[in-house]
Structure 1
Amino acid sequence: MATFTPFTQDELLAYFDRINYSQRDPSPSGLPAPTIENLCQLIVNHQQAIPFENLTIHYSSNHTIDIEPQALYNKIVLNRRGGYCFENNGLFARVLRSLGYKLWTGAASVVLEAKVEVQDGQPTIKAPPMTHQITIVQLPTTAQDGGDSEDRQDALWLVDVGFGGQTLPAPKMLVEHEITPGVRPEQFRFTRVHLASNVRQENPPYWLLEYRYKPDSPWMSAVVFDLTERSHADYYVANQYMSTNPESKFVKNVMMARLRRDEDGVLTRVLLLNDILKLRRDGETKLIQQFEREHERVKAIEEWFGIKLSEEDIGGMKGRSVALME
């Protein structure tokens, strides 16, 4: 594995400023302690301040996404941009490590269109290559989590701040079938499955994250993963494919998402896909705007996602398949 270089205290403070995070219980170091409570707050603040977005693929001169650690810090923290999974999760994992959280990063397959089927008597899902970055955090259980105060064991939690409109707004403990809330009234759960290629193994080694928009909606697949630790080289290859291959959904589309807290305190999701801007609140999706011209989309990106594109950035969109009329 690559050598880990922690953020300096000044870099962490700049990140906290970027996500509007106020420390409630700083440790002796002056930084937030590595607790589940602080993790929850960091996640929701991150997703409100830092959008999921693939703008660099389209609105830039070189159309290249650099996932080197310092490049991520410069882009997201200093230049106040967002990013897609390798960027958001890459930066966030480094922040958590720097704060003392025990974790490793892994990889997942995105299975939004896949359904679980029974094959040879086993729950099975067909999954594409693992092109999504995730983080697994290890934390002691508490009484609230179901742990015995006298005999606590570490629990594993999925942390993912880079999955677009289905991103978990909180860490999710790896417990099968336990339903937890998302952005209300969303729900998430884990089930254990085999991949179609290894169904003959005795125990399902993979975790499938499922979600539904409302308690009476059908469950849908999100990502499937195992607990193997991955290296930066794994993400480098996947990033190259997802950001440059003409068949990649990120090359074919302009995609953005962020959490937004309304004036009444309700947490919502703001979603942009190509020429459509929507708001999802209380399980209902409302059309905000449909863009006809490029300047309309650029204006909405600044107003709803806090990203101001330069003239050079905007010029990079010319001639691309997802460009709108000038």
Structure 2
Amino acid sequence: MQKDGQLRDGLWIKKVPSLYDKNQVSNWLFRIKYPGNWSADKVDNFEATLDNLCLLVRLQIVAFTFENTAMHYTSHHSMDISHSGLYQRLVVEGKGSYCFGMNTLFLQMIRALGYRAFSGAARINTASPDAPPNFLAFVHKILFVQPFRDSNTTYFVDASGGGSCLTRPILLKPGAKVLGATPSEWHTLVKTSRPESSLAYSPDSNETARLEWRLVVSHTPRNGPTSTKIIYSFPEDEFFNADYDASNIGIYTGVWARKESFWQENIVCSRCFWLTDEEMAGETNDQLESSQGDVYSEGAIPRWDGSLMSRYLGRLGLQKNELKRHVGTHSETVKTFHTELERMAILREFFGIDISQTDLENIRGRAPALELP
């Protein structure tokens, strides 16, 4: 029987050296605006705690955009998820990536800060909310972290920042629940089985083994019913660079297009931002006071103290020819665009992604292309 908060068989995660050096880690901490002075000679003094892991997740999804612009605006039409390429694109240039890139960078950075962690993979659900799931192949990268020095208590982490993303670690426990961007959004872990699975607990058992985790998001509007959606499913298996490289190539070359053409047909950009004090007051629904329980497993709301740990988040996102701003259950159109020059200006102003006019030629003839000069 698997214990709550542990990997199967009570497995421990080994401490693995990072592929980034102290200077690179220092520069990453500066880029994501981690509080304090973290020069290379001070990186070893970082306290690898659960709360600090949470803050790192939140800072990363605000600092970097979940995006696929390189797939369409470069001459090679690919997404570089190599460690050197990701460091250059995100930390040096301040641009973004999607899950393979964002979680690859995050994994190596937290390993350098003393965390024991490994990466896994998930099957994204493309079905609508409240509908039966429709899972893709393993096209999403996820992380498992054991933040306590002498404990194998394990937390699930996703620092990619796309869509209704996780905004904090969540204990690997069936029914564990954490606050999302605002109190209108919650994430829950469910342990279940796949109906088509061939695995059982004994030769004569008719019960399919419960080996699959699912991350479920729920949204509750002020006036209306709650909607729920399985974001993705995942096992506890460790995946490696060759696995992500294969899936990454499948996405940017369009091999997956028969199953899912989303990436080929869209410029994807999503980025979290901190709510102002005024927006915080509008989103609390009288919940400024903290609720009882653990914020990493029991659905407690952190006490509002003005810190980034308790401040709610909003999301900016491109949807077709609109830039939308989402705060809680409210969405508004910030700008509309109909040409590549207009989109280029929005990418620069709101997402920190600078596309040159020369690079605009690379999207000509591709599915998401707009009017070009």
Do the two structures share a fold, i.e. TM-score over 0.5?
A: yes
Q: Which amino acid aligns with 1:20?
A: K
Conservation of the 8 A alpha-carbon contact between 2:271 and 2:315: yes
Tell me, in whole angstroms, the C-alpha distance in 1 between the residues paired with 2:37 and 2:27.
17
Q: What is the match of residue 22 of structure 1?
A: 35
For residues 180-213 of structure 1, the C-alpha deviation after alignment (integer angstroms, 9 at most, x for no partner) is 1100121010111222331652431010000012
Within the candidate set 147, 156, 159, 2:157 is matched to 159
Residue 53 (structure 2) aligned to one of 33, 39, 45: 39
Shift in Å, 1:316: 1.4
Gaps of 5+ in 2: 1-15, 202-208, 281-311
- For the residues of structure 2 that align with 1:29 and 1:164, how far apart are their CA atoms? 28
Secondary structure (helix, strand or coil) at the match of 2:242 reads helix
Matches within 5 A, 1:1-326: 5-23=18-36, 29-113=43-127, 127-140=135-148, 153-162=151-160, 164-184=162-182, 185-198=184-197, 200-202=199-201, 203-214=209-220, 216-245=225-254, 247=257, 248-264=261-277, 266-326=312-372
Question: What displacement does 1:45 show?
Answer: 0.8
In structure 2, what is the Cα distance between the partners aligned to 1:23 and 1:155? Answer: 28
> Structure 1 residues 261 and 188 mapped into 2: Cα distance closer, same or farther (>3 Å)?
same
Report the residue type matching 1:187 in the other structure.
Answer: W
Q: Which runs of 5+ in 1 are unaligned?
A: 118-123, 142-151
Label 1:116 to 1:204 Cα distance change in 2 as closer, same or farther (>3 A). farther
What's the offset of the Cα at 1:275?
1.4
CA contact under 8 A between 1:186 and 1:214: conserved in structure 2? yes
Maintained 8 Å contact 1:206/1:226? yes
Query: What amino acid maps onto 1:154 in structure 2?
Result: N
2:145 is aligned with what amino acid? V
Question: What is the aligned partner in structure 2 of residue 146 from structure 1?
Answer: none
CA spacing shift, 1:30–1:287, aligned 2, 3 Å: same
Residue identity in the other structure for 2:263: F
Contact 2:158 2:166 in 1 (8 A): yes
Partner in structure 1 of residue 288 of structure 2: none
Report deviation, 1:282.
2.1
- Residues 214-260 of structure 1: CA distance to partner in whole angstroms, max 9, x if unpaired? 27412211010011001100001000001111613211111111111
Give aligned-pair identity as a percent: 26
Q: Residues 166 and 112 (structure 1 numbering): CA distance in 2 closer, same or farther, change over 3 Å?
A: farther
Give TM-score scaled by structure 2 length. 0.76
Higher strand share: 1
| Residues 194 and 115 of structure 1, relative CA distance in 2, 3 Å threshold | farther
Change (3 A) 1:131 1:163: farther
Q: Which moved more, 1:242-251 or 1:225-234?
A: 242-251
Counterpart Cα distance in 2 of 1:285 and 1:199: 43
Are 1:61 and 1:312, in contact at CA under 8 Å, matched by a contact in 2? no
Q: CA RMSD in A?
A: 2.5
Letter in 2 for 1:166: S
The one-letter amino acid paired with 2:95 is: R
Distance 2:332 2:234 in 1: 32
3-state SS of 1:131 partner = strand
Instruction: Using the TM superposition, name which of 238-247 and 15-24 deviates more.
Output: 15-24
Shift in Å, 1:30: 4.6
1:4, distance to aligned residue in structure 2 (A): 5.4
Deviation for aligned residue 1:90? 0.6
What TM-score, normalized to structure 1?
Answer: 0.87
